[in-house]
Each structure stands twice: as C-alpha cells, then as structure tokens.
C-alpha cells in the first residue's frame, strides 16, 4: 500500500506528539514536510521524524505532492492553513479547537464540503477507553435519561507558561484562555455525552496572571436540547494543578472520568428494574467501574476489549482518519462536531460581555 504523503505545519510542543503518532503509523504515513517559519524548530522536528523543512505550506506543495496536512499552529491560524490545504486537494487533521469562532470554523466546513476532502479535529479524549465505555452505556440507555453533566478543568499554568510565547493568552491567536486552550477537550466530552447545546450563561475572570488578554477562570451553565443541564468550571489558576473531570448523570446511572480514567460508573441494564433508592449517596458497593475492565486492567465495552492503552488516544483518532480516507469509516470528530464546543466557549465569552444568556445555533 502506498504511504500517504504528510505535511506537519507548526513545529511546537503539540507537533511532537503528532510526530510520534506519524512514526507509529509509518506503514500508512510518510512525513515529507515540516512547515515552520522558525527553521531551527522545523529542523529539530524533522531530524526526529523525517521530512524536508519549509517556511510555508505553499513551498511544501511546490516541492512535491502532499496528501494529508496536519495543522499544529496557534489556533487563530488554523483556518487559513486548513483551507489552503483543502484547496490544494489534501485531507486535513487540525489540532483542537478547529478555530477561534464558530464562523471561522464554518468557513473550513464550507470548503471541505465543496472539495470533498476529509477533515478531522483532534479530540483524542473521545477515543479514550473510558469515554468509549461511558458513551456506550449512554447509547444503550443504561444511564437512563441524561439529566445533567459537569465538566471541570482544574489546572495550573504559571506566568512563565504565558510568557513563553507572544501568542499565548491573546484573543487573536489563542482565541481565549483556560476554556478555549486547555478546557476545550473536556467541554467537547460534555457535548459528546449530553448532545446539542442550545444556551449558555456564565462569567470569566483573570485572577492569577498578568499580561494576558484572556481568562484564567471560567464558570458556566449550559442548557442542552434534551433538557439536560451542564456545569462548566475551567481554570488555569488552580495551584498546583488538580484534575480534568467529566461527570454524566442520568435517572438510571452515573459516570465519572478523572484524568482520562473511569473512576465511577453505575449503570442499570435496559432489561433490569432500577432499584428504588429514597435518599442516595455513593457507597463502595454502587461503583461498577471495575466490572468493565478485564483481568489485565484493559477496559471493555459491551464485553469486547477496547484495543490499546490510555495514552494511545491520538493514535486511535489517526486510525479513524485513515479509515475515513479508505472509505471504511465515517470521521468521528469533524468540524460540525467540534464547533459545538467552540460555540459553548465563545457563547460564554459573549455572555460575560453582555451579562445575559446566549442562544447557540450549532
């Protein structure tokens, strides 16, 4: 099988992870180009993973065919690069989030629909074994009617983090702060579990950092089309840094994922009666999480082991993209899915400015 000629645009921290995954898929992918205006950074990445170094994507395409472009630049530059790649006939993988506004994400979507190319937005935690288990339980009705959810991103980023790059903490290139940059993954999982968001209200603040334009604390309530309510707390001002947590609650069960690990699950099979509990509180005998892991500690969905380990989520998403290119699977996280998380976050920013709930149309 001919390998897919791949260009990696942006040679920063997250690009290193993509380089590792491209190496893991060396039977399918060939890194032929690393694109970065900082030649030294480009050379460092290319030395580890291969490919010639170029200052622009145009130069990379001029040097030879490119069939897949992986976009790892600051968020505010994602759209122009993705659109250029699509217009030149390439498929595209975009680091999260797709863009800094829904409107700019929609521009990518319009070009994708016109060109017929594949676009996937990195949302690797949808591919975590723990997430797969919880979503399968929701699909099977074993959590019952989903009533609420909580997305909490309780992290710390020191001032040195924001000072390490001129683009960090800016509206133009970061598109936001604790939620848009760090919290978008957990917000995306809330969307995956609770469905289409229709309204958001909340507040943001900058309480622990200097010389940034964006928030380091955000709190919001989201109303979903199903009637479920979601609560979001996102912060890079939680010293020394705690966990990212997703809670999903229904009238037949609940689930909690902390730092990608399923720490609590209680589900009621669809053919079983829900036990009547007058006043419930979590006890050790209510947690079924251990039942969904095999003897080797590998998680299972519906009795079938989920392949791979927790850290393989990027690899799982790349495999989904390759299957979509082959025509054997649908892309699981594209622009249409990712823009729901973007809509919640940008809607929260608007709510902060206006002091009012914001309707979401995604």
SS (H, E, C) 83-103: HHHHHCCCEEEECCCCCCCHH
Q: Work out the angle at residue 339's Cα, subtended by the Cα atoms of residues 312 and 265, and round it to the nearest 5 degrees.
A: 50
Query: What is the residue extent of each domain of the chain?
Result: 4-125+314-333, 126-306+342-354
Q: What is the pTM of this model?
A: 0.93
Residue segments in the chain with a per-residue pLDDT below the cut of 50 = 303-305, 307-310
Euclidean distance between CA atoms 184 and 63, whole angstroms = 35
93, 122 contact by CB (below 8 A): yes
CA 183 from chain centre, in angstroms, equals: 9
Residue 216, both tokens = 């380091």
pLDDT of residue 308: 47
- Residues whose CB falls within 8 Å of the CB of residue 328, separated by 6 or more in sequence, listed in order: none
Phi, psi (rounded to 5 degrees) for 359:
-75, 140
* CATH number of this structure's domain 4-125+314-333: 3.40.50.720
pLDDT of residue 283: 59
- Residues whose CB falls within 8 Å of the CB of residue 290, separated by 6 or more in sequence, listed in order: none
- Residues whose CB falls within 8 Å of the CB of residue 308, separated by 6 or more in sequence, listed in order: 129, 315, 316
Residues composing the chain: 362
Domain 126-306+342-354: CATH superfamily, name plus number: Dihydrodipicolinate Reductase; domain 2 (3.30.360.10)
199, 213 contact by CB (below 8 A): no
3-state secondary structure of 217: strand
pLDDT of residue 1: 73
Find residue 58's DSSP bridge partners.
none
pLDDT of residue 54: 98
pLDDT of residue 295: 67
3-state secondary structure of 122: coil
């Amino acid at each position: 099988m001919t390998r897919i000629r791949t260009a990696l645009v942006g040679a920063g921290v997250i690009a290193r992870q993509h380089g590792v995954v491209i190496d893991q898929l060396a039977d399918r992918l060939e890194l032929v180009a690393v694109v970065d205006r900082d030649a030294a950074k480009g050379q460092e990445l290319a030395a580890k993973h291969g490919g010639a170094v170029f200052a622009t994507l145009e130069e990379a395409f001029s040097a030879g065919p490119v069939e897949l472009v992986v976009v790892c630049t600051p968020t505010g530059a994602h759209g122009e690069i993705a659109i250029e790649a699509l217009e030149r006939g390439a498929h595209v993988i975009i680091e999260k989030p797709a863009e800094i506004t829904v409107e700019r994400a929609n521009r990518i979507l319009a070009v994708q629909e016109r060109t017929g190319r594949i676009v996937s937005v990195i949302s690797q935690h949808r591919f975590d074994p723990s997430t797969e288990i919880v979503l399968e339980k929701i699909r099977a009705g074993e959590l019952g009617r989903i009533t609420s959810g909580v997305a909490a991103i309780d992290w710390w980023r020191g001032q040195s983090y924001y000072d390490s790059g001129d683009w960090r903490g800016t509206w133009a290139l970061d598109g936001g702060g604790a939620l848009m940059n760090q919290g978008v993954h957990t917000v995306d999982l809330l969307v995956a579990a609770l469905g289409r968001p229709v309204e958001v209200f909340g507040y943001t603040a900058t309480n622990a950092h200097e010389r940034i334009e964006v928030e380091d604390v955000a709190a919001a309530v989201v109303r979903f089309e199903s009637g479920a309510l979601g609560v979001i707390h996102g912060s890079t001002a939680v010293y020394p840094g705690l966990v990212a947590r997703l809670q999903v609650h229904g009238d037949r069960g609940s689930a909690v994922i902390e730092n990608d690990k399923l720490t609590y699950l209680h589900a009621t099979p669809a053919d079983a009666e829900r036990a009547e509990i007058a006043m419930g509180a979590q006890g050790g005998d209510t947690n079924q999480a251990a039942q969904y892991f095999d003897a080797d500690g590998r998680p299972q969905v519906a009795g079938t082991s989920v392949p791979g380990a927790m850290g393989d989520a990027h690899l799982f998403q790349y495999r989904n993209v390759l299957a979509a290119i082959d025509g054997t699977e649908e892309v699981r996280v594209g622009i249409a899915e990712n823009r729901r998380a973007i809509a919640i976050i940008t809607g929260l920013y608007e709510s902060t400015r206006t002091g009012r709930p914001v309707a979401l149309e995604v």
